[in-house]
Chain A
Amino acid sequence: MSLIDNINKAFDHRIRLGIMSILMVNDYADFKMLKELLGATDGNLASHTKALEKEEYILVEKQFIGRKPNTRYSATKLGKLQFKKHIDALEKLIGK
């Protein structure tokens, strides 16, 4: 069925859903901000961001602030588009 097809497997997890939601409304977020908001552990969050990065839904920029390494995440055009489709599909499924 076409409706189910639009449900994106890449977003089918609470943490990944959270990461995308945050990046939809913020230009970027760093690792610490995502961690605070999602209440995830370092390893857990890292594996989910990696998965989203692999799909090219988010962009990862590593930089240094002073001496501290800082990782910045932002949603790509593709990621935003796919996430919108995903939300639409969810809404339609609930509406039924």
Chain B
Amino acid sequence: MDSNKYLDDISEIKNMMSRSSRFISLSGISGILAGCYALIGAGFAYLRLKELSSANYAGLSGRSSSLWGNDLIQDLTVIAVSVIVLAVVTGIILTVKKAKKSGEKMWDVSSRRLVLNFLLPLLTGGAFCLVLIQYGIAGLVAPATLLFYGLACINASKYTMRDIRYMGLAFIIIGLISTQFIGYGLYFWALGFGLCHIVYGALMHFKYDRK
């Protein structure tokens, strides 16, 4: 007759263990949308690159990063920043919604820990990429972003759903492969930040969100 109480106890234990150590309200849909933004951004970047290479460097390899003008870098930066801002804002909005629905606090110990551990490798990577640009090694920026993002995901996986670990691994593999194809960074970016996010987001959505 006390069986119900015991069952409640067990579920309370499980709930507290996961809530105190992992932030589990990350929204799957936000992953899909982030991927879509990335693909759209990559599309714009591709058009811009093509336009430029046909206008200025006809006959030359437009892909060679040392030929990139300031104009182009500015445009690409604008595209990249808008994609990131859009993805982060969407992610936060959808995650807040999901956290509210499941009664989890948005900004508690576990989410703080998650954000901190995600940002640490990511910001390191960001700073490193700026250094690469500083020395004119822009060709390595795409692999570096993919690699550091992958490492950030793996580091963050300790504090949220473990599945994000596999996405991190995918990013690292894509990042390493892309080091052998300098100049094709955009395609690898689209593959990683676009496709990987969409696949991961969809998997998470079906695994956790749809009930």
Contacts and interface: CB of A to CB of B under 8 A. Distances in A.
Nearest to A89: B6
Interface residues of A, number: 20
Given A17-B12, A37-B108, A94-B7, 5 more contacts: A17-B13, A29-B109, A90-B6, A94-B3, A94-B6
26 contacts: A14-B12, A17-B12, A18-B12, A20-B13, A21-B15, A21-B16, A21-B17, A21-B20, A22-B16, A24-B17, A25-B20, A25-B21, A29-B109, A36-B105, A37-B16, A37-B19, A37-B108, A87-B10, A90-B9, A90-B10, A93-B2, A93-B3, A93-B6, A94-B3, A94-B6, A94-B10
Contacts of B17: 21-22, 24-25
A33 B9 contact: no
A29 B19 CA distance: 13
Interface of A is mostly: helix
Interface of A: 14, 17-18, 20-22, 24-26, 29, 33, 36-38, 87, 90-91, 93-94, 96
A17 B20 contact: no
Contacts of B14: 21
Nearest to A34: B20
A91 B14 CA distance: 12
Contacts of B16: 17-18, 21-22, 37-38
A29 B108 CA distance: 13
Contacts of A26: 20-21
A18 B6 CA distance: 14
Nearest to A90: B6
A19 to B, nearest CB: 8
Interface in B1-47: 2-3, 6-7, 9-10, 12-17, 19-21
A29 B21 CA distance: 11
A76 B186 CA distance: 53
Nearest to B105: A36
Contacts of A91: 10
